[in-house]
């Protein structure tokens, strides 16, 4: 709409300039005509008056001259007359003629000096006066002058009236013109295009509309409409065919899982039941950048995994609204349809105060639970006030969720991660009919490690409110079962892998999360050469690491491995560059602030040690990159390093594999990731060993293409066969089997 207004403004400005130009020309012509007419009439008056005053002037009779002047003065626009002697002195003037006007002008002297008529405009208290002086002669000798004073203000009035009339006409024309343009543009162009865009969006999202509605009122775009109608029909037919094929494959577990198949799975087994997802991080964040509201997808493995599921199944996602423009984009119920460019489900934002964020998120979630569950040698910090706020925020989410499911029969609720350990029990107590799945996206430690948590029993009780509790690996399930057996009174069934507590059973199952297998195809991808050029990367060999700036990701250990590699193999100086993309994470946590500084210092130290001319061994980019920006880098890199010290799964490894449709490239993977159990073609390392990391980098760079293809093909088959849609189907299927 802004562009439309800009175009209309440009057109109106052009019209205004043209009209003003023509008006200016008209004013100049009119002024010239009026001035010429005034000069002509005044000249005639002067000639006639000269004959009347000649005789009395020659006789030197002032009273006689005065009588003649008074007789003609005051007629129409004539202000008065004055007679001057040959020395320029005033001889006589008509009654009422202002003294200063008569005495303070030199026009009579000019006329006598030149022995010809002289004239000019003068000002009388803001009024324009035209003064004409004609010499009086006798025997070719100038003996005096006659001056005629005419009012000329009517000329300015006439000019002002022209401007006023034309500008008023211009204003009306501009208004009518603007209204006409808006109406024409709206009905002939904007509405038809908007209608066509909506029809295309409906077709893309799988919704069918009436074809006659598409063509209605679109005669101006008839050729385009015809083609769009054909494309829409083709899309509908293709989608119907895909849906039918997906329905036929529902029972074939080994056939590829797609968004369409997951949608059909959900329809078949859950019919009209509604699904609700709860997480701390929202899938879309709205931010204010240079007075413009933009949306971004946060760097989160959880979001990467769940977003395709919600797009396929619809429903509602409840999350903390963290963007500075989030409140401006929701409706009066704090909801917004997402994705923003093609809505498929509803996002409801929950607002948290600074105090709640500090206690629940920064404090208990990330300074207590996160280091407790990750074996990365960081001591957890347990504070009573953080725990109190954590419980309060869990209750706040419970209250909001219960309001949404108030009139929903047997809702399906998928709770995500360690931020909401208490939420399952809260929901189950209020709505026993709700079927709840809790997925723990991070590792679960051993019973001995977890036992140091002061509120371990409350956390376990909260988690056991879920019907299905999912972890990435069987080892995490085993650790949880052992923890429950040690900490709370319950019936632990190792055959069914379930825990019965307070009369309610929870099934503990491994669901190794994955990504949507793109097979290298991604929207709006830039060529790899263009991406490398933009980053000024000229090295022959590129290594890549993509992680949040988190101490569990093993970034410092990775840097030590790279330093050891360049010490052992100096021949790769200038030939091999490692690109580390590491957007800041949890900047409110002191440990993360220090870690950020440590990584920056280490990169600078290593670069100073090995840099040669314009080449640096490591490029550190502390900026969030979208998937569209990252995927070309995945394909351009010969080596991808994932060196987590402790990780539930790590989806970067699976994204790298998914992007490599050329079946080239080498993945170096930490043995402490869940992905190490799925991706058997990776080079598995102990990230604490710089020697192992350096050796793996050297092996990856020198790996023959045939071995690369063999390893990558094996890993791609694993990700393709167990993608995020299959993960969702198995997780939802385990809930469905509870009935």
Q: pLDDT band at residue 474, thresholds of 50, 70 and 90?
A: very high
Q: Do 628 and 531 form a contact (C-beta atoms < 8 A)?
A: no
Tell me how far apart the alpha carbons of residues 348 and 335 are, in angstroms, rounded to a whole number: 4
Find the Cα–Cα–Cα–Cα dihedral 383, 384, 385, 391, rounded to 10°: 110
pTM above 0.85, yes or no: no
Q: What is the percentage of the chain residues whose pLDDT exceeds 70? A: 88
584 CB-contact burial (10 Å; exposed 0-12 / middle 13-18 / buried 19+): middle
Most confident of 220-229, 268-277, 290-299, 690-699: 690-699
For residues 238-253, average pLDDT? 53
Domains parsed from the chain with CATH numbers: 2-151 (3.30.450.20), 158-237 (no CATH), 258-516 (3.40.50.2000), 528-722 (3.40.50.2000)
Q: Supply φ then ψ for residue 633, to 5 degrees.
A: -70, -40
Residue with tokens 């100086």: 573
pLDDT tens for each residue of 105-124: 788 888 888 888 888 888 77
CB atoms within 10 A of CB 345: 20
Identify the residue with better confidence: 146 or 597. 597
Q: What are phi and psi of 493, to 5 degrees?
A: -105, 105
Q: Would you place residue 666 in the very low, low, confident or very high pLDDT band (cuts 50, 70, 90)? A: very high
Q: Which range among 61-75, 126-140, 506-520 shows the weakest confidence by mean pLDDT?
A: 61-75
Q: Would you say 302 and 279 are in contact if contact means Cβ atoms under 8 Å apart?
A: yes
CA atoms within 13 A on the CB side of 481: 23
Q: Please check the confidence at residue 250 and state whether its pLDDT lies above 70.
A: no
In the numeric block, which tokens belong to residue 719? Answer: 């990700």
Q: Which of 104-108, 222-226, 349-353 has the lowest mean pLDDT?
A: 222-226
pLDDT at 238 over 50: yes
The per-residue pLDDT for range 674-696, each reduced to its tens digit, is 999 999 999 999 999 999 999 99
Query: φ and ψ at 427, to 5 degrees?
Result: -70, -40
pLDDT in tens, 20-68: 888 888 888 888 888 888 888 878 878 877 777 777 777 777 777 777 7
Tokens of 497: 């892998």
- Please tell me the predicted confidence (pLDDT) of residue 487: 95
* pLDDT at residue 217, as a whole number: 47
Average pLDDT estimate for 126-134 = 84
Question: Which uninterrupted H or E stretch holds 544?
Answer: strand 541-546
Categorize the per-residue pLDDT at 74 as very low, low, confident or very high, splitting at 50, 70 and 90: low
Mean pLDDT of the chain: 86
Higher pLDDT, 439 or 2: 439
Q: Give the pLDDT of residue 226.
A: 63
- Taking 80 as the threshold, does the pLDDT of residue 552 lie above it? yes
95 or 252, which is more confident: 95
Tens of pLDDT, residues 606-637:
999 999 888 999 999 998 888 888 989 999 99
Distance of alpha carbon 499 from alpha carbon 107, whole angstroms: 117
Question: In this prediction, what percent of the chain has a pLDDT beyond 90?
Answer: 49
Q: What is the pLDDT of residue 555?
A: 96
Average pLDDT over every residue of 721-737? 89
Higher pLDDT, 85 or 694: 694
Q: Could you give the C-alpha distances from 706 to 441, 668, 682, 709, 713, in angstroms and in order?
A: 35, 17, 15, 5, 11
What's the pLDDT at 109?
85
**Smallest Cα–Cα separation from 439: which of 279, 240, 613, 205?**
279
């Amino acid at each position: 709409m802004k562009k439309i207004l800009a175009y209309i403004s440009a057109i109106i400005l052009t019209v205004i300039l043209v009209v003003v130009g023509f008006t200016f020309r008209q004013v100049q012509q009119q002024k010239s005509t009026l001035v010429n007419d005034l000069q002509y009439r005044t000249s005639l008056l002067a000639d006639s008056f000269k004959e009347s005053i000649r005789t009395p002037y020659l006789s030197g009779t002032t009273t006689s001259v005065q009588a003649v002047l008074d007789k003609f003065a005051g007629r129409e626009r004539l202000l008065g007359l004055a007679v001057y002697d040959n020395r320029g002195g005033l001889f006589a003037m008509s009654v009422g003629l202002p003294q200063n006007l008569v005495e303070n002008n030199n026009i009579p002297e000019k006329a006598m000096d030149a022995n010809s008529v002289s004239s000019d405009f003068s000002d009388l208290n803001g009024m324009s006066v035209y003064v004409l002086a004609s010499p009086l002669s006798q025997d070719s000798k100038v003996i005096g002058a006659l001056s005629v004073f005419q009012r000329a203000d009517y000329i300015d009035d006439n000019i002002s009236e022209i401007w006023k009339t034309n500008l008023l006409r211009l204003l009306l024309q501009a208004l009518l013109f603007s209204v006409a343009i808006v109406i024409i543009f709206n009905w002939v162009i904007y509405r038809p295009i908007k209608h066509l865009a909506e029809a295309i969006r409906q077709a893309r999202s799988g919704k069918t509309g009436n074809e006659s509605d598409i063509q209605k009122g679109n005669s101006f775009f008839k050729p385009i409409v015809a083609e769009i109608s054909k494309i829409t029909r083709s899309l509908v037919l293709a989608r119907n065919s895909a849906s039918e094929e997906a329905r036929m494959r529902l029972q074939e577990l080994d056939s590829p899982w797609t968004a369409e198949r997951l949608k059909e799975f959900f329809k078949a087994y859950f019919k009209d039941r509604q699904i609700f997802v709860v997480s701390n991080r929202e899938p879309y964040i709205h931010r204010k950048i240079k007075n413009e509201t933009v949306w971004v997808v946060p760097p989160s493995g959880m979001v990467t995994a769940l977003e395709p599921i919600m797009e396929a199944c619809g429903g509602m996602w409840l999350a903390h609204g963290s963007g500075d423009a989030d409140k401006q984009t929701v409706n009066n119920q704090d909801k917004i349809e997402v994705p923003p460019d093609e809505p498929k489900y509803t996002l409801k934002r929950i607002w948290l105060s600074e105090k709640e964020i500090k206690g629940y998120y920064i404090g208990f979630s990330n300074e207590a639970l996160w280091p407790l569950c990750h074996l990365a040698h960081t001591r957890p910090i347990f504070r009573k006030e953080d725990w109190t706020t954590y419980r309060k925020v869990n209750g706040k989410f419970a209250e909001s969720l219960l309001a949404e499911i108030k009139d929903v029969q047997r809702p399906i609720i998928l709770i995500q991660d360690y931020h909401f350990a208490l939420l399952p029990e809260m929901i189950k107590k209020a709505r026993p009919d709700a079927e709840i799945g809790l997925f723990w996206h991070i590792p679960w430690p051993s019973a001995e490690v977890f036992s140091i948590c002061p509120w371990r029993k409350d956390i376990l009780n909260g988690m056991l409110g879920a019907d299905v509790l999912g972890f990435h690996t069987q080892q995490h399930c085993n650790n949880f079962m052992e923890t429950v057996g040690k900490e709370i009174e319950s019936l632990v069934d190792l055959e069914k892998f379930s825990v019965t507590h307070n009369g309610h059973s929870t099934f503990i199952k491994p669901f190794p999360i994955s990504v949507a297998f793109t097979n290298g195809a991604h929207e709006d991808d830039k060529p790899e050469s263009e991406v490398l050029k933009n980053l000024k990367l000229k090295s022959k060999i590129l290594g890549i690491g993509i992680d949040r700036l988190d101490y569990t990701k093993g970034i410092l250990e990775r840097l030590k491995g790279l330093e050891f590699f360049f010490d052992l193999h100096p021949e790769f100086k200038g030939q091999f560059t490692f690109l580390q993309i590491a957007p800041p994470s949890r900047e409110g946590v002191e440990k993360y602030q220090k870690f950020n500084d440590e990584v920056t210092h280490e990169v600078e130290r290593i670069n100073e040690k090995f840099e040669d001319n314009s080449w640096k061994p490591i490029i550190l980019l502390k900026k969030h990159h979208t998937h569209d920006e990252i995927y070309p880098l995945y394909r351009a890199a010969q080596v991808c390093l994932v060196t987590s010290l402790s990780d539930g799964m790590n989806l970067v490894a699976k994204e790298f594999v998914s992007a490599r449709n050329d079946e080239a490239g080498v993945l170096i993977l930490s043995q402490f990731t869940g992905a190490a159990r799925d991706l058997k073609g990776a080079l598995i390392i102990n990230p604490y060993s710089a020697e192992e990391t350096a050796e793996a980098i050297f092996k990856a760079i020198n790996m023959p293409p045939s071995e690369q293809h063999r390893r990558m093909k094996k890993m791609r088959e694993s990700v393709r066969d167990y993608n995020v849609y299959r993960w969702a189907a198995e997780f939802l299927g385990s809930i469905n089997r509870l009935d």
